[in-house]
Amino acid sequence: MAPDFGVFVSLFVDTLDYWWIIIPATLLGIVVGAIPGFSAANTIIILLPLTLSMEPATGMIFMVALYTASRLGAGIPAILVNIPGTAGAAATPLDGYPMAVSGRGQQALAISFTASVAAGLITTVAALLLIPWLSQVAYHLHSVEMIVVMLFGISLIATISAADTIKGLIAGFFGLMIGYIGADVVYEAPRGTFGFLELYDKVPLIPALVGLFAISEAFVVIERNTILSEQGAIKQQHAGWGPTFEGIRDTFVHWKEVIWTSLLGLVIGVIPGAGAAIASFVAYQQSRILSKTPELYGTGHIPGLVAPESANNGVTSGTLIPLLIIGVPGGATAAIMAVVLEYHGVAFGPDLFDSQPMIAYGSFTAMLITYVLLGLMILPLTRYFSRVMVVPTVYMAPILIAFTLVGSFVPRAYVFDMGVAIVFGVIGYIARRTGYHVAAILIGVILGPLLENYFLRALRISEGDLTVLFSSALGNTLWVLLLLSLLAPGLKRYLGRLKSGNTNATE
């Protein structure tokens, strides 16, 4: 299952013959990612008749290229207008949008694109070389371990609310309460649905996401002339190509951050059901914990943008591994890929890499080529994308609301979801005006239901024995790491005060 270098080169050259399908899929993926509410999954569903009519290798390469490009494109609205159109981009605005408001939107886009491309290339090569070992990750991470991984992400609530811990925790628990609305996963009993059948399948994520961030932001910025601050507007007017090159340089200055967060995303991507949202939140949380300047996160700090963008692009190659090795999709897009391959009679498993290498290894080489194309195509466009922010808010705010309402409608085609987006927009606006962090609410909405599912699954397997949470050696190691990451900020502050006290005493 691990071919030599010559076979890799041959596969790479053979995949280049599919340029005629990779380039249009890449362009379409960028557009899809940049439109809030749209995703590679629902786009591939719309294009399902097309992919089913293709040869399996051609269809797989098309879907992989579209999926890869859409992941990178999702960072564009997240940075420029504070709209994370997918859950995987939910952590991107935390530092990306403050950079854009201060007039560094072009630089932020360059950082996002460079980190995404670099992370994608690193993890795709790593996936190709480490497939036999990465395919075993899903066997070692069970419900107990995933509970701790979820808690890593949820602990970000406390991290981002350091300025006002009480308000941050209130916002986080409010988000968790919203996340538990819907049918109970064990008995299917409705909880907090208020009689709405549309809420039985949980609160729809995309309407909640774009409502909290985009619609509430539109309500806020309509009170100003532009999204940009006064200094930001001056910077934007005089911006040339310099910020693009500066953003590329800044990303490579933080090359260590790119490498470890992308590999973190790769490992999380291998776990079926985990996905880019968990990877980006965990990467952001760990990046802040390990930083020497954690107080700068949330103010437009470069590592705070590099970490989630590297992690969520690291997930892309990881999601293909459980699909191809054990036939279990790593996410929604991979599930649709499975449908297409099954339609053509493709049998998943380790033998696929020997019997049909153009489908198995070709998927990764297509992803590699797509990231190279993305780097060449999208980086020169950063200067022009950033011009969106100079549009007066009297025009921008209605456009944002219109796009987000359409994006809210697309995933399930329910008019009800547009109402959900407006409700969450009002909630987000009130939260912003009263000093509550909307990101803390969103973390609860996204990760709360996932935590419940894994927790109840662990209890059902153990027949209600809570000690199962500490029954795994790997799980216990993760518990220790979680505890250390939570104690690290306080320990750093204590050691800093101790060091300064000793310095003063010496003087």
Q: How confident is the model at residue 488 (pLDDT cuts 50, 70, 90)?
A: confident
In the predicted structure, residue 238 carries a pLDDT above the cut 70: no
In the predicted structure, residue 258 carries a pLDDT above the cut 90: yes
Query: Using CA of residue 191, residue 194, residue 195, residue 199, what is the dihedral sign?
Result: negative
Question: And the tokens for 263?
Answer: 């590999």
Can you list the alpha helix ranges (DSSP code H) found in 135-254? 137-140, 143-154, 156-160, 165-179, 205-210, 216-221, 230-237, 242-253
pLDDT tens-digit series, residues 376-385: 999 888 888 8
The 3 state secondary structure assigned to 285-333 is HHHHHHCCCHHHCCCCCHHHHHHHHHHHHHHHHHHHHHHHHHCCCCCHH
In the predicted structure, residue 350 carries a pLDDT above the cut 60: yes
**179-210 as b/e: b if 16+ CB within 10 A:** bbbbeebeeeeeeebeeeebbeebbbbbbbbb
354 burial via Cβ count (<10 Å: 0-12, 13-18, 19+): exposed
In the predicted structure, residue 94 carries a pLDDT above the cut 60: yes
CB 64 within 8 A of CB 367: yes
Highest mean pLDDT range out of 67-71, 436-440, 451-455? 67-71
In the predicted structure, residue 140 carries a pLDDT above the cut 80: no
Question: How much is the pLDDT for 302?
Answer: 94
Amino acid, res. 44:
I
Using CA atoms of 415, 418, 419, 421 in order, give the dihedral in degrees to the nearest 10.
160
In the predicted structure, residue 181 carries a pLDDT above the cut 70: yes
The 3 state secondary structure assigned to 349-389 is CCCHHHHCHHHHHHHHHHHHHHHHHHHHHHHHHHHHHHHHH
CB 334 within 8 A of CB 275: no
Q: Stretch 415-424: mean pLDDT, rounded?
A: 92
pLDDT tens-digit series, residues 424-435: 999 999 998 888
Q: Stretch 352-374: mean pLDDT, rounded?
A: 89
- Dihedral pair phi/psi, residue 461, rounded to 5°: -65, -40
pLDDT > 90: percent of the chain: 26
What pTM does this model have?
0.85
Q: Stretch 84-106: mean pLDDT, rounded?
A: 88
Give the span between the Cα atoms of 34 and 42, in whole angstroms.
14
Question: And the tokens for 150?
Answer: 């979820």
Q: How many CB atoms lie within 10 A of CB 467?
A: 7
Across the chain, mean pLDDT equals 85
Both ends of the chain: CA-CA distance in Å? Answer: 65
Q: How confident is the model at residue 2 (pLDDT cuts 50, 70, 90)?
A: low
Question: How much is the pLDDT for 324?
Answer: 85
In the predicted structure, residue 506 carries a pLDDT above the cut 60: no
Question: How much is the pLDDT for 58?
Answer: 92
Question: And the tokens for 77?
Answer: 């609205």
Amino acid, res. 137:
V
Q: How confident is the model at residue 309 (pLDDT cuts 50, 70, 90)?
A: very high
pLDDT tens-digit series, residues 263-305: 999 988 888 767 788 899 889 988 988 888 888 998 899 999 9
Question: How much is the pLDDT for 504?
Answer: 55
- Dihedral pair phi/psi, residue 190, rounded to 5°: -70, 140
Q: How confident is the model at residue 347 (pLDDT cuts 50, 70, 90)?
A: confident
Give the span between the Cα atoms of 238 and 167, in whole angstroms.
39
Residue with tokens 């591994």: 321
CB 41 within 8 A of CB 333: yes
Per the model's pLDDT, the better-predicted residue between 391 and 375 turns out to be: 375
Q: How many CB atoms lie within 10 A of CB 489?
A: 17
pLDDT > 70: percent of the chain: 91
Highest mean pLDDT range out of 214-223, 244-253, 403-412, 452-461? 244-253
pLDDT tens-digit series, residues 27-69: 999 988 888 767 788 888 888 888 888 999 999 999 999 999 9
CA nearest neighbour of 141 among 271, 319, 10: 271
Give the span between the Cα atoms of 308 and 321, in whole angstroms.
21
Q: How confident is the model at residue 391 (pLDDT cuts 50, 70, 90)?
A: confident
- Dihedral pair phi/psi, residue 183, rounded to 5°: -75, 135
